[in-house]
Structure 1
Amino acid sequence: MNRNANKKTGVIKDISIFIFLIIVTIALIFIFPDKKQEIINNSQDFFVEMIFILPAVMILMGLFSVWIPKEVIGKYLGHTSGLKGVLFSFILGALPTGPLYVAFPLAASLHKKGASITNIVIFLSAWACIKIPQEMVEIQFLGIQFMAVRLISTIVFVTIMAIVINKIYAYAEKTGS
């Protein structure tokens, strides 16, 4: 019974978010009538993108849940994975291309399977900031020196940020905040 209640709550929450987004879109059309067509086009493009991407993400999430055991995630991305986990997190985040919202369900799954908060933050940040194709474009237009400085700075600051967030998360869990 508890599981069915959770499913109903999740469905209601999803529908509420969808209705909220429709209301925001309609409000934006009234607030900016001169941008009406642009708002409609952007909303439609986003909706179509979601229709195509989300089913694929759900399939990948299902396969990920079944194929990769919890022990493997714990070993390579868990709390005791150390620098190896940090390196794997950067690689896992930098390799795929695609919008960041695809990474969030994957990050949630990693967390459920035992990945540390540090490695999840690094994974999400690498997904957002470090992409192999992006690096190639940076080299072409801004030069290798710029790309190297930006990449090293990103890695350093993302790692620091991940460690700080992990400490805050651990403190919040400990104090019940």
Structure 2
Amino acid sequence: MKILKRYKWFLISLFVLMILSFFSKSILTKTIDTASSNILQMLSVLPPVMILLGLVDVWVPREQLMKYMGNNSGIIGILLAILIGSVAAGPMYAAFPFTAVLIKKGAKFSNIIIFMNAWCLTKISTLLFEISALGYKFTLVRLLIDIPGVLIMSYLVNMFMSKDSINELYNKYN
């Protein structure tokens, strides 16, 4: 019964898809093609990410990560979170396993949110494409707006989440 509850939305979506496929076979075909493509993309991205995470988990001691990204890290933790998120490669779902390692190692919650936002907004590979497509002025203005937004967002999320929720999250990974 727990499995049904866990996959409830997937099963409902599958049921709706089956019903829709009676009216239009192209919906079923497109859905299967899209799902297959996404699964193949994930399988090409996640193994290298998992290998790197395993290395980070083994090579970076918890005490060292807490020193630089923990509760008393200050501006160094913020800059390191932005830097790690900015040099990252891959889609957003590749950030989630890394986020779990940061939680496990005791990084400050707001630094984790900064890292995740930086992964989305300040990735160097994306910035290079954006500069070539939209120009450096646009990219610079966007960054000048986004970076303070990332910081504000991280502290708002940290402020609005209850301490119990944050502690539960950290306890789940330790």
- TM-score of the pair, normalised by structure 2: 0.80
Give the Å deviation of 1:60. 2.4
- Give the structure 2 partner of residue 94 of structure 1: 86
1:66 paired with 2:61, answer no
**Whole-Å Cα distance in 2 between the matches of residues 83 and 170 of structure 1?**
23
Q: Cα deviation per residue 1:1-29 (whole Å; 9 max; x = unaligned)?
A: xxxxxxxx9xx69xx54x85466246335
**Whole-Å Cα distance in 2 between the matches of residues 73 and 148 of structure 1?**
30
**Tell me, which stretches of 5 or more residues in structure 1 are unaligned?**
1-8
**Whole-Å Cα distance in 2 between the matches of residues 92 and 67 of structure 1?**
16
Give the Å deviation of 1:96. 1.4
Conservation of the 8 A alpha-carbon contact between 1:29 and 1:39: no
Conservation of the 8 A alpha-carbon contact between 1:77 and 1:89: yes
**Whole-Å Cα distance in 2 between the matches of residues 51 and 144 of structure 1?**
34
Taking only the aligned residue pairs, the percentage that are identical comes to: 36
- Give the structure 1 partner of residue 171 of structure 2: none
Q: What are the residue-to-residue correspondences of 1:1-177 with 2, within 5 Å?
A: 16-17=6-7, 21=10, 24-25=13-14, 27-28=16-17, 30-31=19-20, 33=24, 34-169=26-161, 171-173=163-165
Root-mean-square deviation (Å): 2.7
Q: Which runs of 4+ in 1 moved over 4 A?
A: 170-174
* Greater relative CO (CA pairs within 8 A, separation 6+): 2
Conservation of the 8 A alpha-carbon contact between 2:45 and 2:90: no
- TM-score of the pair, normalised by structure 1: 0.79
Moved more, 97-106 or 30-39: 30-39
Count of paired positions: 163
Conservation of the 8 A alpha-carbon contact between 1:79 and 1:116: yes
